[in-house]
């Protein structure tokens, strides 16, 4: 019975960047520290087998696997809950889990027929069997009935009901098979089972388990078919068996795949734990635009001349997956031909552009399917780079918001620190640039006092930045008081009362960052 533990256990815990293989894998949030495997859908909900909890007060152990038996649980958010059915005999809720193995399950689309694996006998060494129950119009479930091909001499498990073809698939080590566990099927119509038959092209001398049918393709798990090691995932279409490929299959156990729609689903693998425990992974099949070319043109924002040697990175915003790192050519153009980049409709992407002597740029674009064979990112976002220059005021370039102080205070507020951190990042990126921090006030109040207040505020901001950058002497601070007003308001106390609005006065109360020296290199900018 030892191989049964292998049949039942397998999963991963990895976030895989799979741009080259069109599949994105993410670990399910409902994974536990124990074995979790065999996701299936029932009545619109997900159900999973887990050894994290046991139906009995005293946890029984699989004497071969040396692990707790797995039970069936409903996924609610990121938690596992005991599934309850309503008994036709008592009218009360009942837990279909036992002290031994329970699950996996399968049902019809309406959710009124449920097949499941169970050890209904009291002996933990009892063979695995399939049971089914049906739901009446009043919502009550029938007493579970045994599958016609159950037998105390062999295991019968992993039911999957292909409703479109009225066919029940299952795995068994019954006599007459090819070897180990084999996959069989029989018709199921009007509550009656037809003659069983081995599925052609699937079974090997090793274990073949976990059948799942989606759009007339049979998916299954096998230790045969030249697997990479342990169980691998395969598909069968028109009697042709194909491996699910390197994304799904590893040297460890990869099994129990199911689709929730054309592009999404779940499977089980133990690759991350080197075979120790199983987890569930969600997968997303990604569309690759094989017939499209991705085109970029990058220019100097002031001269509008093409820029060569611009480092470009494209990252998918939601996942952080880096899809591309490349450089523009002598004409400022970067062209990615078909098969070189995966860009998918209705996804958001971030573009990073870097070049010596220019302000690093970060822009987003949301890609929508275009009729053209060229995806022009330039049509979607501004890719021109701003050259760094002496006396440049970098506040707008860095997207800095106004740095506010409380009335008559020079202490840094939390919202000011957020903006100053942007300056810190800029100066650490360009460690030889020298910057002057200038603090300005409006013209309200006494001129001398405004000068003193601006100096205190400038020093407060400068102290924060200098403590967080290399060579802090590169940043100097200066208080300008009201000597450099952006809005020429009449100054209170020396002329008639100002007729400037609060908004105009606010424009004068500002902090500016001016580049005073440009000593940058490719190394300094982080470009190679």
Q: What is the arithmetic mean of pLDDT over 135-150?
A: 90
pLDDT at residue 196 greater than cutoff 70: yes
Q: Please say whether the beta carbons of 344 and 374 come within 8 A.
A: no
Tell whether 207 and 67 lie within a shared domain.
yes
Residue from 287, 293, 358, 312 nearest 21 by CA: 287
Last residue of a domain, one of 237, 253, 279: 237
Asked if residue 78 is part of any domain, the answer here is yes
| Higher per-residue confidence, 169 vs 350 | 169
Put simply, whether the predicted model's pTM sits higher than 0.75 gets the answer: no
- CA dist., res. 440 & res. 455, Å (int): 9
Taking the alpha carbons at both ends of the chain, their separation in whole angstroms is 59
pLDDT tier for residue 519 given thresholds of 50, 70 and 90: low
Is 7 contained in some domain? no
| Domain match, 372 and 419 both | no
Q: Say yes or no: 64 and 211 in one domain.
A: yes
Q: How many whole angstroms from its chain centre is CA 7?
A: 28
Same domain, 325 and 421: no
Indicate whether 274 belongs to any domain. Answer: no
Q: What angle do CA 395, 401, 358 make, to 5 degrees?
A: 30
Tokens coding 248: 């799904």
Sheet of 511-517, strands arranged across: 475-481, 434-440, 511-517
One domain for residues 68 and 165? yes
Q: Domain count of the chain?
A: 3
Contact 169, 186 (CB under 8 A): no
Report yes or no on 196 lying in a domain. yes
In a domain, 19, yes or no: no
Is position 126 within any domain? Answer: yes
* 35, 67 Cβ separation under 8 angstroms: yes
Cis omega (within 30 of 0) on the bond before 392? no
pLDDT of residue 225: 93
Per DSSP (E only), the strands in 135-216 are 145-146, 156-162, 167-172, 182-189, 192-193, 197-198, 208-214
Phi and psi at residue 270, in whole multiples of 5°?
-120, 25
Is 198 found in the same domain as 58? yes
Do 307 and 218 lie in one domain? The reply is: no
CATH number of the domain enclosing 328 = 2.60.40.10
- Per the model's pLDDT, the better-predicted residue between 381 and 8 turns out to be 381
| Single residue among 237, 256, 279 that ends a domain in this structure | 237
**CA–CA–CA angle 114, 116, 119 (5° rounding):** 145
Residue 383: its pLDDT value, please?
80
Q: Write out the H or E segment, with its range, that includes residue 93.
A: strand 93-95
pLDDT of residue 374: 52
Residue 253 near residue 6 (C-beta atoms within 8 A): yes
- Verify that 369 and 445 share a domain, yes or no: no
What's the pLDDT tens digit per position in 400-438? Answer: 777 877 767 778 888 889 989 999 988 888 888 899 998
| Host H or E run for residue 522 | helix 522-525
SS3 457: helix
Between 520 and 69, whose confidence is greater? Answer: 69
Its domain, for residue 442, covers 414-525
CA distance 422 to 399: 9
Lowest-pLDDT range, 110-124, 333-347, 349-363, 384-398? 333-347
Quick one: pLDDT at residue 15?
27
Query: Is the same domain home to 160 and 65?
Result: yes
Residue 288 lies in a domain: no
| 293-297 and 333-336 strand pairing | antiparallel
- pLDDT the model gives residue 290: 41
78 shares its domain with 190? yes
CA distance 11 to 361: 40
Best mean pLDDT range from 50-54, 157-161, 490-494, 521-525? 157-161
> Smallest Cα–Cα separation from 9: which of 29, 32, 26?
32
**Looking at the structure, do residues 40 and 171 belong to the same domain, yes or no?**
yes
Query: Domain holding 438: CATH number?
Result: 3.30.1330.60
151 phi and psi angles, rounded to 5 deg:
-160, 140
Q: Give the 3-state DSSP-derived string for 460-509, with helices as H, strands as E and coil as C.
A: HHHHHHHCCCCCHHHEEEEEEECCCCCCCCCCECCECCCCCCHHHHHHHC
Residue 43 CA to residue 64 CA, distance in Å, equals 34
Q: If you ran DSSP here, which 8-state letter would residue 310 be given? A: -
Query: Which candidate, 329, 374, 304, 319, places its Cα nearest to that of 350?
Result: 319
Average pLDDT over residues 491-514: 69
In a shared domain, residues 72 and 141 = yes
In a domain, 346, yes or no: yes
**Of the residues 379, 400, 422, which one is the last residue of a structural domain?**
379
Q: 3-class secondary structure for 151-169?
A: ECCECEEEEEEEHHHCEEE
């Amino acid at each position: 019975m030892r191989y049964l533990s292998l049949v039942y256990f397998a999963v991963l815990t990895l976030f895989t960047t799979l741009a080259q293989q069109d599949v994105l894998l993410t670990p399910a949030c409902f994974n536990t520290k124990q074995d979790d495997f065999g996701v299936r859908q029932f009545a619109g909900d997900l159900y999973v087998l887990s050894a994290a909890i046991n139906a009995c007060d005293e946890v029984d152990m699989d004497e071969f696997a040396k692990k707790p038996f797995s039970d069936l649980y409903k996924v609610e958010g990121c938690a596992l809950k005991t599934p309850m059915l309503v008994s036709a005999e008592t009218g009360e809720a009942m837990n279909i889990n036992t002290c031994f193995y329970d699950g996996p399950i399968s049902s019809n689309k309406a959710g009124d027929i449920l097949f499941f694996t169970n050890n209904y006998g009291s002996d933990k060494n009892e063979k695995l069997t399939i049971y089914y129950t049906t739901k009446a119009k009043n919502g009550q479930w029938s007493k579970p009935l045994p599958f016609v091909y159950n037998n105390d001499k062999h295991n019968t498990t992993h039911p999957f009901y292909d409703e479109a073809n009225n066919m029940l698939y299952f795995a068994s080590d019954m006599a007459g098979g090819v070897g180990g566990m084999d996959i069989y099927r029989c018709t199921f119509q009007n509550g009656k089972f037809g003659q069983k038959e081995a599925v052609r092209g699937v079974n090997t001398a090793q274990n073949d388990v976990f059948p799942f049918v989606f759009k007339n393709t049979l998916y299954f798990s096998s230790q045969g078919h030249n697997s990479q090691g342990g169980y691998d995932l395969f598909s069968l279409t028109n009697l042709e068996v194909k491996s699910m490929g390197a994304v799904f299959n590893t040297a460890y156990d990869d099994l129990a795949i199911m689709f929730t729609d054309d592009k999404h689903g779940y499977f089980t693998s133990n690759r991350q734990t080197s075979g120790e425990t199983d987890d569930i992974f969600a997968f997303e099949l990604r569309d690759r635009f094989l017939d499209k070319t991705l085109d970029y043109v990058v220019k100097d924002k002031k001269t509008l001349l093409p820029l060569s040697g611009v480092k470009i990175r494209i990252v998918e915003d939601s996942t952080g997956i880096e899809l591309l790192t490349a450089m523009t050519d002598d004409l400022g153009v970067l062209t990615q031909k078909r098969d070189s980049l995966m860009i998918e409709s209705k996804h958001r992407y971030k573009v990073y552009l870097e070049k010596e002597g220019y302000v690093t740029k970060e822009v987003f674009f949301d890609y929508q399917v275009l009729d053209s064979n060229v995806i022009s990112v330039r049509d979607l976002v501004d890719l021109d780079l701003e050259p760094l220059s002496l006396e440049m005021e970098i506040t707008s370039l860095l997207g800095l918001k106004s740095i506010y102080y409380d009335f008559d205070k020079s202490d840094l507020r939390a919202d000011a620190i957020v903006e100053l951190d942007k300056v810190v990042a800029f100066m650490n990126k360009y460690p030889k640039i020298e910057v002057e921090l200038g603090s300005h006030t409006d013209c309200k109040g006494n001129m001398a006092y405004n000068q003193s207040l601006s100096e205190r505020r400038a020093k407060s901001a400068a102290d924060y930045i200098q403590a967080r950058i290399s060579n802090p002497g590169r940043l100097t601070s200066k208080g300008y008081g009201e000597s450099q007003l952006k809005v020429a308001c009449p100054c209170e106390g020396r002329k008639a009362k100002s007729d400037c609005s609060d908004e105009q006065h606010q424009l004068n109360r500002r902090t500016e960052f001016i580049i005073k020296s440009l000593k940058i290199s490719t190394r300094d900018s982080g470009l190679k």
